[in-house]
Chains A and B, each alone.
Chain A
Amino acid sequence: EDQVTQSPEALRLQEGESSSLNCSYTVSGLRGLFWYRQDPGKGPEFLFTLYSAGEEKEKERLKATLTKKESFLHITAPKPEDSATYLCAVQAWGWAGNMLTFGGGTRLMVKP
């Protein structure tokens, strides 16, 4: 069974204080690892897809990296508007469909 664990559950940062969010996964064969951002009461917003170990993607203050067991979302010099829940999800080979298995999320709060 595919499993995704995110840590920490919650993270408080001061504006400008860089940090990393962790996503550990167990999957039979990784088709893709996805990062989403979710604001309260809203739908998840797509950020990145990573397909193979060693791959990195960047967007503004965010950078996602992937190893064979985990992914990190690095946040550089965060701003209050980066406050949200960040969700990690995996998609595995061997399924007829393209379902995503999500982790519990990391709730990020950035104080000015």
Chain B
Amino acid sequence: DSGVTQTPKHLITATGQRVTLRCSPRSGDLSVYWYQQSLDQGLQFLIQYYNGEERAKGNILERFSAQQFPDLHSELNLSSLELGDSALYFCASSVGSASGRDTQYFGPGTRLTVL
């Protein structure tokens, strides 16, 4: 158990809908990351937050947004869902050290199925 929690475990929804994925980082970690894993693309970085502020953006679609709250939990919002958004979504967290050298620990993931 990495200490990172994600809810829900599974999500089934229809095209055009909007969903929210939630992540709680390990105790003491200030950075939260979101990754998408699909069969054809592998693990892809979406976005990073550090202590409530956006730190870096990857290949995140405009239909997707995220935020990190004062208690450090994070939510990933996916809207106008398409079939191609079906994937595993992982949250990871790290201490966020000043050296930039810290390890990311991953949660169990949320499996999103868009029908």
Contact = CB atoms under 8 A, between A and B. Distances in A.
Contacts of B55: 96-98
Given A49-B103, A99-B48, A44 B42 contact: no
Contact of B109 (A43, A46, A105): A43
A7 B114 CA distance: 32
Contacts of B43: 44, 87, 89, 100, 102
A24 to B, nearest CB: 15
Interface in B56-112: 56, 58, 88, 90, 94, 96, 100-109, 111
A46 B107 CA distance: 11
Contacts of A36: 106
Most buried by A among B2, B88, B106: B106
Contact of A43 (B42, B48, B100, B108): B108
Contact of B56 (A43, A98, A104): A98
A12 interface: no
Interface residues of B, number: 29
Q: For B48, B50, B100, which residue has the most chain A Cβ atoms within 10 angstroms?
A: B100
Nearest to A43: B106
B101 A96 contact: no
A100 B45 contact: yes
Contact of A97 (B35, B48, B106, B111): B48
7 contacts: A44-B90, A49-B101, A97-B56, A98-B100, A98-B104, A100-B104, A103-B42
Interface of B: 2, 4, 31, 33, 35, 42-45, 48, 50, 55-56, 58, 88, 90, 94, 96, 100-109, 111
Interface of A: 31-32, 34, 36, 41-46, 49, 51, 87, 89, 91, 93, 95-105
